[in-house]
Structure 1
Amino acid sequence: MSDADFSSLLHAAEQLATDVEGNEELPRVERSLGQVLEASQELYSRVTQTGAHDIQAHLLLGSKGIDLPQISQKLETLSARRTFEPLHPIADSDIESFLRNERENAILSLIDDVNKSSLQTIEDHKWEHMVSEWNQEKIKLMNALIGTSQNWLDLKSAPEVSMMVDASKKVGPSMLDNQEMAYAKQVHQHNKIVMQGAKRPSLVQKFSIVADEFNDQKVKEMWGIIKAMSNNLPIVHNDDPLKCRSTPAVQKALVSQARNYLQQGYKTYMKSIVMDNLQNAQRGGIPGTYPLVRGFVSLRMQGQSLFGLMDGQIDGRPLWPMIYYCLRSGDLEAALHCIRQAGPGFEDFIDILEELIKNPGHPLSNKLQTAINFQYRRNIRNATDPYKRIVYCILGCCDITDEHPDVAKTADDYLWLKLSLIKTENTSNDTECLTYPGLQKTILEEYGETHYRAYEQPLVYFQLLSLTGQFEPAIEFLSRIPKYQVHAVHMAIALNELYLLGGPRTVQAPLISVDIEDPVPLRRLNLARLILLYVRRFEVTDPAEALQYFYFLRNMKDANGKNLFMVCVSDLALECRDYDALFGRIDPMTGIKTRGLIDQFNSSFIDCKLIAANVADELVKKGLFEDAINMYDTSGNTEKVFEICCTLLSQVASESKRPGSLRERITQICHNLRERHVNTPLPNQIQQTFTILNDLIIFFDQYHAKNYMGALEALSSCKIIPLSSEEEHERVATFKRLSGEICKVMPDILLAAMTILFNKYQNLRGQDQMAHMTAEGKDKQVEFLREQAEAITSFAGNIPFRMPGDTYSQLTQMQILMH
């Protein structure tokens, strides 16, 4: 190699060294080219073995200033042992290890107990919340339940009382509309008569008159059905209504009244048709059923073919349609007149009509029954005249399965036909007959709401149920339609007053239910639940009207055996919190009580004072002690009044006096009570507690006003804490006899007393303020204050009461600062 080559190589190396050393941004390279080559080969081998992911991780973390190898070393040094290891056995002589183990055992057991307690509390709250939600869902489902229910469910009948009721809430405008208010006025008048002991008027009649004023034809017809079906039934008042309605006598009366209602209704319908078409009807001016039926048949058969009708005509009209419509209007005499005009050949039929006219409500004799059955099976069953077939079926109770759709085209016609086929007095065992329970089951269970499209035509379904004596499912169905709920509630009330409504064995039952002891398909309606559901909407805004409806529940008991009226009034009071309106107001100075809304119901079985006491008990459970005082005062329970006052005084005694505060209100209440009940005997414990707490009110008033001399005088009169060492033993003994209300205030009393002594000490130490006092007098005064402070501190440590931890430290600190 030439010198020039070495020179150029040297020059290049120097230039490279100069560039490396002169670049301050790059670190100085201390490796030779061979070392760099070796490091590069090692790095390449590691990349090929572990892959590029580790290199990318190094580059990513390195760009953020993280030294990955250093972190790996730190992680390797971490210990994986658990924080709480099992304690190893130790020797009995190793006191230090024994104490350490005991301490760790105590900590572990405390942590375990807290953990178990927390888990149990969470579990209890979870189940309580779930049960509450399920109960609400059960109430919603049971209120709409219409199927069978052989087991009673324990559901709350009263509405839940809100815990977040504003005490200043004012009663708003009435929630009652015109119809509800009209019914409510009749309810109030009825209850007033009942409370006076006069003869009860019929609520069905009263409510029917009210319903006539609503100008609603469907509502008017509903009340007409209730009035027709409840008139003069042979019901025994001291027996179960469903049991009475299952007797043959009552069933016979129900069938008769339902038939009469349908017949009178159809007669009215025929009159309206004839009056609208007088010219075509050609009725004539003769009154009576026969001319009416003749005119109606003329209109009904007008334009129709008479093919298939049998036995000719009378007076220009077909015979059997005339007889049928006479029977449909309930006039057997008119039907007899028709058959006599038909001429000879109907002697057996005439005999049947004459016997039915002579013995109304009684079945045919065996001879006539056998004759008409034989004649029907032989000649009439397959006759082409549908009117003749239906007439023979009605009079002879033949072929109860034939529904005669050619003639009985409406629900009214169908029901009248079935009621006509019922025999309440079956004199022939071999004769197939329709029973009253059988008809009830067919309408309610076999057909039901779907078949009759009940929600599209509620009047039809209500009519079918009511006219078959099924008042309970009829009213329950009507109550599910918002438009008719108000009428359903008052129908139930009116029937219940007539002892016609079947109720469940317990007020916790669903709205409609089945008792397994009742005949099929009877239902029981929970009147209490129905009234509570109705009243719930307006009970807060209209408590006076709500009380009138609750009065209908006075003879019922809740699950705990309490009078349901009293329970509902208590719940109402807790909901609306207008205690003065419900129970009257007691004058705080004279103690004279004004008359409340529930006083009108006071009787031998309704005790208004007991209701007030129940409300007070619930208020105490909810922590509303101030309202509870008024309720206990209204109930005449003076002992509980002073007991609650003591509880409230202990909570506010140490607070400063502020206008409008709870402390000021309670202080004024206690002052009025003390003035009114100055001669009322009370238990010694309550009397002592009340007196001491009132003295403590004076003490804290003086303390917050910085009148320390007056405060110490008030505290000295209480005689509950020592102000000298001689009193300490006596005050400790006295403390053990004090009530819990006074003990709760003790930490504040001790701190206030010590603060007073400390301030007096600081004033004594101020030379500029005490220049007139000699040094000897000042020292004696200081020593006296120190003695009082020591007595208070010693007293705080000797009494059997667990005070807050900072109370001891503050007392000790102030005592130390006085030395």
Structure 2
Amino acid sequence: MDFNTLLQRAQNLTNEAKAEYELPQVERTLQQVLQATTQLHSRVTQSSNKDIQAHILLGSKGIDLPKLTQKLEALNARKTFEPVDAVGSDVSDVCTFLKNERENAILSVIEDTNKNISETVSKQKWANLNSTWNEEKTRLLDALIGPSQNFIDLQRLPEHITLDPNLPPSSCLSQMELVYAQELHHYNELLLKGAHRPNLVQKFALLSSSFGDDRLTDMWLTLASVTQVNEPIHTDPIKIRQQRPEFIINAKSYLERRYKLYMCTLVGAAHSSNSYQLVRAYVTNRFSAQHTIGLVDTLDNKPLWPMVYYAMRCGAAATAVEFLHEAGSSYEDFAQVIADRNAGAVNSRTETQLKLQYANKIKNSTDAYKKAVYCFILGCDPNESHGEVAKTIDDYLWIKLAMLRPGDAGGYGRLQSEILEKYGEKHFHASNQTDVYFKTLVLVGLFEAAIEFLARSGHRVHGVHMAIALHEVGVLGGARSVSQPLLSIDIADPQPLRRLNLTRLVRLYAKHFERTDTTEVLNYYFALRNLRDPKGRNMFLTCVCDLVVCSGVLDTSIFDLIFGQRMTDMDKAVPGGVFRQFDCPEFDTNTMASLVAEELVARGSFEMAVRLYELAGNYNLSLKHFNILLAQVVQFSPQEGSQRARLRDEANRFSRLLAALRIEVEPKIRGSFELLQLLLVFFDLHHEGKLAQAVEQLQHTKLMPNTTDDVDGCLTNIKKLSGEVIKVIPDVMVAAMDITLTQYNRLKTRMCTSDQLQFHKLLVRAKALSNLAASMPFRMPYETNKRLMQLELMMN
């Protein structure tokens, strides 16, 4: 067939189609057909496979995707929660106005809720971050107290040690620490009984003599001598320390007594009762003919001013006056000034004349002792070191203290700054002479810096008890906040005084024997009873609470030891805890247990709080928080050793106490507990596969319907439930539907015609559960609704 014949037949077919169907005629050249084919191919190849599949899928269902896309693009893209525009001038359209107002109210509630949720989340986030940083800061500050020498030896292989679980834990206290702890325990007993309490500094000082360390005994005696005050200090010790003359007088008297003992050991104890003979013998022994060069005045062929100086140095001012009287009338004025000073009087006119005499003649004298006596009696040249006379640090401190006048806070502060900041530990070689530097700090009134140095230099056990003793007598300058470092500077305090964080020092010391010597550690924490944390809580409470929290939920021995054992369902007495010894108007065991329980609730430790509330006799709060705990685990599968297993045992125990009428609780709390206990048994049976018994147990709760007629009654019962029980309802519904499906599948496998009635009952129960889920007065979780629908569909 040639091409012409083919063309003619094509034209005939076109004419026939036009005549029969009246279709519009389309005329395209081959080039146009090729172009259209190319465009269609390019569009298909550029589109993804998913788009092509979507076109095919929707096209097979009769959906025109391009037209649908145009409709979607034409939709108004207004924000979902944008406020509705107010009604125009047509005030008669009340329905539209009320509709807009209602929608705007709903939108405003949604917006406020979202805003509040965002703010709450932000606050909780920053609070958690702040708490984390505070804990890290505390850990770092504790680590800066001193380098740890307990390095881990990675080369050693693990050793197998067999311990007898019945043996009590051995004490971590050394013999010295145990003696300190017993003395503190005895002091606390006297304090709690209201008896006259002794000076704890003096008690510890006497106790230190039994340790066989002369340097330690000397340090305690120095501290006890300097801190003797006539009246207890009830105000801030740091604010008034430099204004009170007792510390200067006590330090000066202590140095004088020590030097008198030194003089007696040098010349013999026979002269100890007669200061006049003691000083003359000491000067005779010390000053030979060659040592008197430069000394200007004499008395009975002995240098006068050394005798006056050493008489004053050993605290015998009357003996010094007697020497001056024997020397002649030219020394009467100076003798009178010494006598007046010793009596507490001041003769300004005579002192002014003597100061002029010192400036004109004596200042350039070759007699170093005469210059020193004039200086500390008249207060001349306060910056003079008197190196020819003051050979030791004790001599130097005595001269500086003797030059101070009552109320001279500026001079006292300059002396403290000189010792602490100008010279410091390096000058005194403190690492090798711990006792010397410690006593120097104490003698100039820097008690806080002295204790911190002692604790840092490997003598923390003594530093802790010194701090506690000074705190009890009201002398220790405590930190402004318990979260501050061990030693801190307050810009409002006189320079260079420091503040000591007693709480941090005691807790660092007591931390290593908290678990083994709990009774002793409570006595140390009791020393913090007058301190408060940043939240205003008593530090004794806070420390005990931390001790209980860190003990762990599985170890309940700490509860029984501190607060006593809980009652049993038997009528017998239970022993009390060691906290009974701290019962006083400020601290009662039951009150203390309640306060600790409240703190544990705030920290989320409900399981320990339940025990403490019960020990405190507050059974309502105990059972209430127990219900909250039980509601969180009641739906889990039973596993030995799990929290659910522990709570199951506790639930049985509470049931026995309630049955024996040993405790009384509110009816609503008791009803919630009994209902949760029924659900606990129900879930146990469900997980064990005992479906019939589980359904029977569930019927006792009257929460799940068997028919659609029971839905309203179950809803009424659910509305009366407490919040902790309502949280379990979704899991109960899923478990009930799962049991129904399992029973349905078992009947289906048997294929018996006699089971049709049972089939119908199961289908009705499933329908009733679905209706109950749809009628709930609270929002059901999405996963619960989804699971219920899936289980119901499996039965159809």
TM-score band, normalised by shorter chain:
0.7 to 0.9
Equivalent residue letter for 2:568: P
| Matching residue within 380, 389, 392 for 2:362 | 380
Aligned pair 1:327/2:312, yes or no?
A: yes
* Maintained 8 Å contact 2:295/2:303: yes
Q: How far has the Cα of 1:558 moved from its partner?
A: 1.8
Equivalent-residue separation in structure 2 for 1:639 and 1:122 (angstroms): 29
Which residue number corresponds to residue 247 of structure 2? Answer: 254
Secondary structure of 2:173 counterpart: coil
Does the 8 A contact of 1:790 with 1:815 survive in 2? Answer: no
Structure 1's 628 and 123: CA in aligned 2 closer, same or farther, altered over 3 A? closer
Structure 2 distance, partners of 1:125, 1:334, is 69
After TM superposition, the structure 1 = structure 2 runs for residues 692-731 of structure 1, keeping only pairs within 5 Å, are: 692-731=675-714
| Secondary structure of the corresponding residue to residue 553 of structure 1 | coil
Partner in structure 1 of residue 634 of structure 2: 653
Question: Which residue number corresponds to residue 318 of structure 1?
Answer: 303
Deviation of residue 728 (structure 1)? 2.5
Q: Which amino acid aligns with 2:256?
A: Q
The partner residue of 2:237 within 226, 238, 241 is 241
What is aligned with 1:690?
673
Query: Paired residue for 2:141, among 133, 139, 142?
Result: 139
Amino acid at match of 1:717: H
1:790 alignment partner in structure 2: 767
Q: How does 1:272-311 map to 2 (within 5 A)?
A: 272-275=265-268, 288-301=274-287, 304-311=290-297
Per the alignment, residue 594 of structure 2 pairs with: 613
Aligned residue identity for 2:445: G
Aligned residue type for 2:705:
P
Alignment of 1:33-44 (within 5 A): none
Distance 1:613 1:170 in 2: 31
Report the AA paired with residue 786 of structure 1.
L
- Could you say which residue in structure 2 is the equivalent of 1:52? none
Aligned to 1:479: 455
Aligned CA distance change for structure 1 residues 79 and 289 (closer, same or farther; 3 Å): farther
Q: Distance in 2 between matches of 1:803 and 1:286?
A: 96
* Alignment check: 8 A CA contact 1:535 1:546 kept: yes
Give secondary structure in 2 for the equivalent of 1:536: helix
Q: CA deviation at 1:580?
A: 1.6
* 3-state SS of paired residue (1:586): coil
Aligned Cα root-mean-square deviation (Å): 4.2
Q: State whether structure 2 residue 510 is matched by structure 1 residue 540.
A: no
Whether the 8 Å contact between 1:225 and 1:466 is mirrored in structure 2 is yes
> Would the aligned equivalents of 1:400 and 1:434 in 2 still touch at CA under 8 Å?
no
Q: How far apart are the structure 2 equivalents of 1:698 and 1:179?
A: 56
How big is the shift at 1:395?
Answer: 3.2
Summarize the Cα distance change of 1:717–1:749 in structure 2 as closer, same or farther, 3 Å threshold.
Answer: same
**Given the superposition, is the C-alpha separation of residues 370 and 694 from structure 1 closer, same or farther in structure 2, using an over 3 Å criterion?**
closer
Sequence identity percentage: 34
* Residues 1:297 and 1:522: Cα distance change in structure 2 (over 3 Å): same
> What are the Cα deviations for residues 350-400 of structure 1, in whole angstroms up to 9, with x where unaligned?
453355346624255234323422332333222222222223333333332
The gaps in structure 1 that reach 5 residues or longer are: 1-76, 84-90, 107-112, 145-167, 276-282, 427-432
Question: Per-residue deviation at 1:500?
Answer: 2.0
Alignment of 1:729-808 (within 5 A): 729-758=712-741, 760-761=743-744, 778-799=755-776, 800-802=779-781, 804=783, 807-808=787-788
**Cα distance in 2, alignment partners of residues 102 and 184 from structure 1:** 82
Q: 1:367 to 1:476 in 2, by over 3 A?
A: same
Partners in 1 of 2:567 and 2:424 — Cα distance? Answer: 60
- Say whether 1:676 aligns with 2:672: no
- In structure 2, the CA distance between the partners of 1:175 and 1:649, relative to structure 1 (3 Å rule), is same
Paired residue for 1:413, among 376, 395, 402?
395
Name the structure, 1 or 2, with higher relative contact order (CA <8 Å, separation 6+).
1
Q: Hey, what does 1:163 align to over in structure 2?
A: none
Amino acid at match of 2:651: C
1: distance between equivalents of 2:757 and 2:520? 75
Distance 1:100 1:741, change over 3 A: farther
- 2:648 corresponds to: 667
Q: Is 1:391 aligned to residue 373 of structure 2?
A: yes
Using the alignment, how far apart are the partners of 1:581 and 1:683 within structure 2? 29
1:470–1:522 Cα contact (<8 Å) kept: yes
Letter of the aligned partner of 1:544 in structure 2? T
- Structure 1 pair 763–479 and aligned structure 2 pair: CA distance change class (3 A): closer
Q: Label 1:289 to 1:711 Cα distance change in 2 as closer, same or farther (>3 A).
A: same
Q: CA deviation at 1:596?
A: 1.4
Instruction: Name structure 2 gaps, 5 residues minimum.
Output: 1-44, 52-63, 80-113, 147-164, 553-557
For residues 740 and 284 of structure 1, what CA distance do their matches in structure 2 show?
A: 88
Match of 2:157 in 1: none
Alignment of 1:28-67 (within 5 A): none
- Give the structure 1 partner of residue 258 of structure 2: 265
CA distance in 1, matches of 2:248, 2:415: 11
Residues of 1 paired with 2:359 and 2:465: CA distance?
A: 48
What is the deviation of 1:100?
A: 9.3
Amino acid at match of 2:394: D
Across the two proteins, how many residue pairs are aligned to each other?
A: 671
The 5 Å alignment of 1:127-526 reads: 131-132=133-134, 135-136=137-138, 139-140=141-142, 172-231=169-228, 233-235=229-231, 237-247=233-243, 250-251=244-245, 253-275=246-268, 288-301=274-287, 304-312=290-298, 314=300, 317-339=302-324, 342=327, 346-353=328-335, 356-357=338-339, 360-424=342-406, 435-483=411-459, 485-526=460-501
1:650-669 deviation digits (Å, cap 9, x = unpaired): 34434455555543432231
CA distance in 1, matches of 2:125, 2:182: 50
Provide, for residues 629-657 of structure 1, a one-character-per-residue CA deviation record: whole Å limited to 9, x for no partner.
Answer: 21222233323322333233334434455
How far apart in 1 are the matches of 2:418 and 2:336? 32
* Cα displacement (A) at 1:570: 0.9
CA distance in 1, matches of 2:289, 2:735: 108
CA offsets per residue over residues 573-614 of structure 1, 9 Å max, x none? 112342221121102324855311222222222243344334
Distance 1:617 1:284 in 2: 68
Return the offset for 1:499. 2.0
Letter in 2 for 1:640: L
Residue 515 of structure 1: how far off its partner (Å): 3.9
Q: How far apart are residue 784 of structure 1 and its match? A: 2.9
**CA 1:78–1:220: 2 relative to 1, 3 Å:** farther
Determine if contact 1:236/1:244 at 8 Å carries over to the other structure. no
1:448 positional shift: 3.5
Separation of aligned partners in 1, 2:74 and 2:172 = 71
Report the AA paired with residue 546 of structure 2. Answer: D
Question: Do the aligned residues in 1 keep the contact of 2:321 with 2:339 (CA within 8 Å)?
Answer: no
Secondary structure of 1:374 counterpart: helix
Q: Give SS of 1:435's match.
A: helix
Equivalent residue letter for 1:311? D
- Partners of 1:556 and 1:543 in 2: how far apart? 21
Q: Closer, same or farther in 2 for the Cα pair 1:443/1:733, shift >3 Å?
A: same
1:802 aligned partner, one-letter code: P
